[in-house]
Every structure is written in structure tokens, then in C-alpha cells.
Amino acid sequence: MNKDTYTNFIRNQINDDLDSGVHNSIQMRFPPEPNGYLHIGHAKSICLNFGLAKDYKGQCNLRFDDTNPAKEDIEFIDAIKADIKWLGFVWDGDIKYSSHYFDQFYECAIELINKNLAYVCFLDSDETRAYRGTLKEAGKNSPYRDTSIAENLELLAKMKAGKFSEGECVLRAKIDMNSSFMCMRDPTLYRIRFDKHHQTGNQWRIYPMYDFAHCIGDAIEGITHSLCTLEFQDNRRLYDWILENLNDFNKPSRPHQYEFSRLNLEYTVMSKRKLQKLVEDGLVSGWDDPRMPTLSGLRRRGYTATSIHDFTNRIGISKVDSMTDMAILEAAIRDDLNIKAPRTMGVINPIRVIIENYPKGKIETLKALIHPQNEAMGKRDIFFSGELYIDRADFKEVVPNKKFKRLAINKEVRLRSAYVINATTFDTDFDGNITTVYATYDPDTLGKNPEDGRKVKGVIHFVEATKALKAEFRLYNRLFTLENPGKNDHFEQLFNPQSLVTTYGVVEPNMASSKPEFAYQFEREGYFCRDKNSQVLTFNKTVNLRDIWNN
């Protein structure tokens, strides 16, 4: 690796630390909380941490920060592991859990009490809030702050033994109630929870707070560069304070925290809590709903791991919070699928076409390229007969304008990889909707232009009717109606009711063997992949062929 190629501030810091001998190698970690599914914002962190470890020939742990059993579940752990593997990363060694270090965390709490740096506090939540003060007003000391070391040790032991009820007391750090940083005003280190833990069962009745457990877990594992997002910038002071006051971890090589900007993506939310509300309120079908920004949702929609890597490279790493245009993510998948996606034809909103001069009962087998820019992918069989389906939008009774290059009465058009046809008349239902178009075909135009010099400008797709497979198409729009719904307290009210539109049409018969989570280009329509959960043949739209949102 040529380290001089990279210029973001995290790589610069790593380069400096390796050059100065602070570290001989780097040890990274990805530390998700197992309280929901990972989203595209987590992918940025995954690619960063695992990518740095790979580039610098270091290591990267997977550690579940499982310190809140009330919100955690094995389902989330399994989903997170699957997402990381899907992105192509492998964690070093065994999976780590903060719960594996509960005994060490407890010993650290005892050490802080013995140093008169922690105490058990019996203020309730409202009283604690009042004592903490505001950004403009200093806090004031808890009446329990000067409890003796011996009594605090006894109280902590009682907390651990389950002698107090939930919320009755907490263990707090003794730092500075006058600090200009709210996180330093005697933050909570331990609280009481009687929930059964997915790893330790009912062994514990007290659980460490994230800020306490996280830095110690980093130190235990020898993490060199602890990366997190900007909202934890102030908390770096607490991270340092804890490690500096623990004998085993107060050394020059201890972990240091560095913050980068989180991903904020237009028309969606980047909060597991808010995403969970969408699931619980039934606004989406689950965490892996293809409209969700979760990695499982994107995967189900047809996004590739390659496109996610490309997206994270495009947005880069910085210390500036900003809103990322959804078009950047869509461009990444579009560029990837344009190269690799097999071509096929699907008619999303079909009307029937009868070719009146085609031999009755005849079905012709034609050949079409699987990929027009990659002939090595071979050809596929398509079929042609006297009965076809075309998309409703591809026929007009009268040509509406000069730009219209599709089928109309007495106007010719070429069918993709097939013949030139000319519409003659049509049928409608009682409501005036066109049901059937009648046409003729020119048998001498297969693979070539009409011999008499007629110019046929339009090309439309089709599916032969007798062999067509019925299919459901799920078309996705933006999840919310505003670019930044997360700023609204009632963000769920901004949910886009048109975020999913379902239509029913037909596809080529070869799509019977299509694979879930594998994208195809439906020519002229977009990229689609087969839905993994549907009992019928269903295709989720991954992305349009071009960016229609900014046009």
C-alpha cells in the first residue's frame, strides 16, 4: 500500500502513529449495538474500519456492544453478521461481545470507587436532570456525592446482587458538575436492569453504560484507533478520562477516539430507533423491506456489495456533517449493474397486440444478446408469434408529438431484437381503455432495415404472449416526502404513501429461473431483481436506467 496516496485525516493520523512508533500495527474494530438491523450509514463505518485494517495489514474485530439487554436480540446479531459477510469482510478471531468483559468492567468500577472517582447516587431521573444544569448554567453536586468509599463499595455490591429496584440508584463517575461539557457532569456508569441477557442470562442485575463499556472494551482488545461519528465528539473527553484513571489502561499506546461525519441520506432516516418505529407501525413490511435503507433491504432490492463499496468511496470521509444526495447511491448501483446485469424483457403494464398477418399457431424462436456490450455473455432465446404484449405507454392512437418514437396507428416501430410492426386499429373496453392493438409485421425486417428505405426510428420491448410468465412488479419511490424527515418530531407523518406501487405484467419465460437478490436489466424499464420472500414471481425495482429525480 502506498500510504501517500491517501489524504483523509484518519489515514493521516494512522500514518503519523506508525511513523512515530506509537503503534507498530493497527487494530481496528466494528462495534455495533445489536438493537436493530444495520443500515447504509453503518456500511460507511464497516468499509472504513475493515478497509483500513486490510490496507495497513492490521486486524479488525467484530464486537457487539451488548450492554442493554432490554433492546437487544439474537435476530439482530445474526443479521449483522450476515451483512458484514455480504459486504465481503471477515472479522479477525472470534466474535467479541462487551458482555464477555462484564467481570472486568465491574472491577474497573470498583477501582474508580476506591480512587474516590465514582459513587452510588439515589436521585431519580427528574432530580438528576435538574441537578445536571443546562448549557448555560452549571450543575450542582448530588447529595450522595460525598458518600464514603466503603459505603459506595457496599452499595455497588448490593446493586449487583439485585437488592435495589430498577431506577432506584445508579453508579456515577465523580468528575465535574461545573464542566462546560454535559457528558462530564458526573455521568452514569452503571444502571440496574432485570432483563435476561442473550449472552449471560440472569447472571447480572447491573449493566454498564455504553460510554463506560466502550472505551474499556477497546483497551482490552488493544484497539489503536477507535473510530466513531461526530455526535460522540464531546464524549471523547469521557473516553479519555475513564482510561486515564484505570491503572491497566493508562499508557501511551492506549486507544484514542477519532470522529468522522455520519451518513445522512436524503428522503430516509439514519436511526435504528426511527427505522424500528416504521417496522412496528406497519408502514413497512419489516427491516428488510426494499424501501428501507438497511443493508438487508438494499440487498433484497438488488443492490450489490460492489455498489455499496463504490458509494462509500464516492462520499469519502470528512468531519463535515452534510446531507448526501440519493442520486449518488443510485448512480453507484446503476454503474455496477450496467456492466454486469443480464438483459431481458418485462412488460410492466401490458396491452395485447395481435399481428394479423403472422401465420396462425406459429411460434418463432429468435436470438437476443444477454448483454449488448458484452457478447461473451452469449445469447438468449426469445419468442415471437401472432400474439404479443407491449407496454401500455408504448401505444398512442395518434402520435402526440414529433418526439414520440413508439407505436401509433399507421406508424411503424421495431420490436426489440425482432420485426418492424405497424398498428392498424385497436379495441377498447366500456371505459374507453385500450385492450387490444391490431398490427401487421414486415417479415423481411428481422435484424435489418426495410428494403424500400423506410425509416423506422422507434424501438420498443415486448413479450410473446403464449410463453409469457405472469409477474408482479414492485416499483419503489422515495420513502419520505421531504429530503430530511429525521428533523421532524413526527417524521412518520412524512411517510410517502406512493413509496411502493405494485403492478402486474409479464416477463420472458427464462425468468422462471431468475435468482433472488440478483439484478437483471428489464430493457427500457430499469434494473429489477426477484424478491426472495414472495410466493409468486415478483420483481423489485432496483433503480431506473437513468436519474429521473434530478431531471
Residues that are catalytic: 33, 262, 272
Which residues, in sequence order, are CB contacts of 51 under 8 Å at separation 6+? none
Cα–Cα distance list, 414 to 387, 401, 440, 454 (Å): 15, 18, 12, 12
Give 67-128 as a DSSP string: --TTS--HHHHHHHHHHHHHTT---SSSPEEGGGGHHHHHHHHHHHHHTT-EEEE---HHHH
* Distance between CA atoms of residues 511 and 266, nearest Å: 33
What is the number of alpha carbons within 13 Å of residue 501 lying toward its C-beta? Answer: 9
What Cα–Cα distance (Å) separates residue 225 from each residue in 58, 248, 321?
A: 11, 18, 21
Q: Are strands 170-173 and 188-192 parallel, antiparallel or unpaired?
A: antiparallel
Q: Alpha carbon 368 to chain centroid distance?
A: 35
What's the grid cell of residue 456? 423506422
**Whole-number Å distance between alpha carbons of 206 and 171:** 10
What radius of gyration, in Å, describes the C-alpha atoms of the chain? 31
In our burial notation (b when 16+ CB lie closer than 10 A, e otherwise), range 143-155 reads ebeebeeeebbeb
Grid cell locating 69: 439487554
DSSP assignments along 324-337, one per residue: EPHHHHHHHHHHHH
SS (H, E, C) 393-422: HHEECCCCCCCCCCEEECEEEEECCCCEEE
Helices 210-221, 236-244: crossing angle, 10 deg rounding? 60
Phi, psi for 430 (deg, rounded to 5): -65, -25
**Which of 394, 295, 294, 316 is CA-nearest to residue 353?**
394
273/412 Cα distance (integer angstroms): 55
Which H/E stretch holds residue 210? helix 210-221
